[in-house]
Amino acid sequence: MNVYLDAGHHVSFGTFPLRGVELATAMRSAAEIGYRSFDTAQMYENEREVGDCLSTLGLARDDLFITTKVSPNNYAASAFLSSVEQSLKDLRLDQVDVLLLHWPDQHGDNAEALDLLQQAHDRGYAAHIGVSNYTISMMEDAVSRLSVHPVANQVEFHPFLNAEKLRSASARLDLPLTAYCAVARGKMAQSPLLDDIGQAHGKTGTQVGLRWTLQKGVAINAMSTKADNLRLNFELQDFQLSDAEMSRIDALMEEGYRIVNSDLVPTAPQWD
């Protein structure tokens, strides 16, 4: 089961690092194009602005699909649930669709944060819960510790990074990956191979890279401030990559290009 893909949210609009007018303009464009799934986080410090914008879109709550993430700064028992209550207040929601732990606990023990995430679910603050930036052993711990099955592990995922071990563990555990940095921050637009495959389908190289991710069974988070890019990133359902094309793109994974690395996030885990 993949709560994003099953509900038709093959692409979510990722709101980091947008704020203010830029955020509101991009969210409105995204909604006009057809995006109904929006991804935010306590760490992005934009939940209130996201909530303000959602309330002006004129969309029914049931049509929206909202993900937020608890910051590791709020993993203490004294802070966790009240921080989620604040997120709900800022987002102007009674419940988010998916609540994630944003990063593994920096002291290496995820048990308390997972228990608190479970409590947030039990209180009705989230319809579904999950994790982000979890390694294979962390995913195994999460699945065995939580009493409801987690629905997502949001990780960096694009054709220039080999996440195959993580992906096969996610299939074994029935804990779907969702992709962040899914357009590799624009790098897919510069790939001659993706561009070449795109020409055969009347698509851009970025669309080919995103389609590759979808055909791996991974739902996408992508951010753009431009309506044209937002539209291109959304229009992925009208073509199919062949097995041969998928294999050619697989070869790009050997580049091992990780954007959100330990220079950027010193507490990032040792990836599998």
Ligand X SMILES: NC(=O)c1ccc[n+]([C@@H]2O[C@H](COP(=O)([O-])OP(=O)(O)OC[C@H]3O[C@@H](n4cnc5c(N)ncnc54)[C@H](OP(=O)(O)O)[C@@H]3O)[C@@H](O)[C@H]2O)c1
Q: Give the residue numbers marked as catalytic.
A: 44
Which residue's CB comes closest to ligand X?
Answer: 14
Q: Is residue 42 close enough to count as binding ligand X by CB under 6 A? A: no
Q: Which residues contact 222 (CB under 8 A, 6 or more apart)?
A: 11, 12, 13, 14, 182, 183, 210, 233
Kindly tell me which residue out of 95, 260, 268, 272 binds ligand X, with binding defined by CB under 6 A: 260
In single-letter form, the type of residue at position 247 comes to S
Annotate each residue in 218-257 with x if it binds ligand X (CB under 6 A) or - if it does not, as one string. Answer: ---xxxxxx--x--xx------------------------
Kindly tell me which residue out of 9, 14, 113, 121 binds ligand X, with binding defined by CB under 6 A: 14
> Which residues, numbered 22-41, are part of the site for ligand X (CB under 6 A)?
39
**Strands, E assignment, the chain:** 11-14, 37-39, 65-70, 96-101, 126-132, 153-156, 177-180, 219-222
> Which residues, numbered 106-135, are part of the site for ligand X (CB under 6 A)?
132-133
> Which residues, numbered 90-109, are part of the site for ligand X (CB under 6 A)?
102
As measured in angstroms, the least distance from the Cβ of 22 to ligand X is 9
In single-letter form, the type of residue at position 152 comes to A
Q: Is residue 153 close enough to count as binding ligand X by CB under 6 A? A: no
Q: Which is nearer to ligand X, 73 or 247 (CB)?
A: 73
Cβ(179)–Cβ(158) below 8 Å: yes
* Tokens at 114, concatenated: 């997972």
* Total chain residues near ligand X (CB under 6 A): 27
Q: How far is CA 204 from CA 51, 211, 260, in A?
A: 32, 11, 24
Kindly tell me which residue out of 10, 11, 15, 219 binds ligand X, with binding defined by CB under 6 A: 15
Q: Which stretch binds ligand X (CB under 6 A): 121-129, 163-171, 178-186, 237-245?
A: 178-186
> Which residues, numbered 185-224, are part of the site for ligand X (CB under 6 A)?
185-186, 189, 206, 221-224
Q: Which is nearer to ligand X, 123 or 185 (CB)?
A: 185
* Tokens at 188, concatenated: 């897919």
Q: Which residues contact 119 (CB under 8 A, 6 or more apart)?
A: 80, 81
Cβ(32)–Cβ(24) below 8 Å: no
Q: Which stretch binds ligand X (CB under 6 A): 113-121, 139-147, 176-184, 193-201?
A: 176-184
Closest CA to 219 of 243, 197, 236, 202: 236
Peptide bond into 17 cis (omega under 30): yes
- How many Cβ atoms sit within 10 Å of the Cβ of residue 143? 15
Q: Is residue 73 close enough to count as binding ligand X by CB under 6 A? A: no
* Angstrom distance (rounded) from CA 234 to CA 206: 11
- Tokens 């795109």 map to which residue? 198
Q: Is residue 262 close enough to count as binding ligand X by CB under 6 A? A: no
Q: Is residue 16 close enough to count as binding ligand X by CB under 6 A? A: yes
List of residues contacting ligand X (CB under 6 A):
14-16, 39, 102, 132-133, 154, 180-186, 189, 206, 221-226, 229, 232-233, 260
